[in-house]
Amino acid sequence: MAARRTRPRPRPPAALADEADDEFWGPEYPPVARSLLTSAVACFAKKGFEATTTRDIGTGAGLSTAALYVHFSSKEDALFAIMRIGHQRALEALGPPALRNDADRDPVTAVSDLVRGLVSWHARHPTVARVCQYELSALTPEHYREIAAVRKGITDVFRFAVSRGLAAGLFDADDVNRVVRVILSTGVDLVRWYRLDGIDSPEVLGEVYVKLALRMLGVR
């Protein structure tokens, strides 16, 4: 009898190997589903959500067109999974909840750590983050509301730290919402141009953005 052949495990696109590995997606999904999500990220980043087909996603994972529907109810459902996990990972990069909500923590240290976490995470996962930022309009209203709540949570963490710094006289800013919006926008915008094989590591970039954020807040 001929030896039984096992189907090789699908491999994620090489460009995303360091961005969206099994650890990134977590244990919620089986290996095949994780490969499909990684392929979907690559396809959405390259072609956009609307132009991407289920065939594109399946082919990128080394699977059939129908493979997506075994694990996700639709292409949008796969996008929602990417958005949900991506935004949750970004929130986790800001530190544990107890630290993020510590009202006694030094505001300068708090803002520095938040910016460092936000920027370095987006630099480590630029393709995933780009999809998370640019494909929000493709979500269903229900899914959009869920992601918007996480995004608001991220904004609130920054607003809390900046507000405490202003109250303590450590920061100089006319409007909390405006300065937080600028800090977040600047930190997220790097996904347009940053490459993991560039001259600056995510850690180096994080430190650069910390200095910029503190200068915006009047810290010298």
**Looking at the domain covering 14-72, what would its CATH class be?**
mainly alpha
Q: Considering only 8-12, 30-34, 66-70, 216-220, which range has the smallest mean pLDDT?
A: 8-12
Report pLDDT for 127: 94
78-216 has the same fold as 14-72: no
Beta strand residue intervals within 82-169, DSSP E = none
The tokens of 65 are what?
């067109």
pTM over 0.75: yes
Residue 156 above 50 pLDDT?
yes
pLDDT tens digits, 26-46: 898 999 999 999 999 999 999
- Give the pLDDT band (50/70/90) at residue 77: very high
List phi, psi (to 5°) of 131. -65, -40
What is the residue whose two structure tokens read 């996962």?
125
List the chain domain ranges: 14-72, 78-216
Q: DSSP secondary-structure letter at 21?
A: -
Residue 6 above 80 pLDDT?
no
The letter for the amino acid at 185 is S
**Contact present, 87 and 174 (Cβ < 8 Å):** no
The letter for the amino acid at 199 is I
Q: Give me the chain's average pLDDT, please.
A: 90
State the Cα–Cα distance between residues 194 and 23, nearest whole angstrom: 22
The letter for the amino acid at 31 is P
- Give the pLDDT band (50/70/90) at residue 60: very high
Please tell me the number of Cα atoms within 13 Å of 157 on its side-chain side: 26
Residue 217 above 70 pLDDT?
yes
Instruction: Give alpha helix (H) positions in the chain.
Output: 22-25, 31-47, 54-60, 68-71, 75-92, 97-100, 107-124, 126-134, 141-167, 176-189, 202-216
Tell the CATH superfamily of the 78-216 domain: Tetracycline Repressor, domain 2 (1.10.357.10)
Report pLDDT for 20: 65
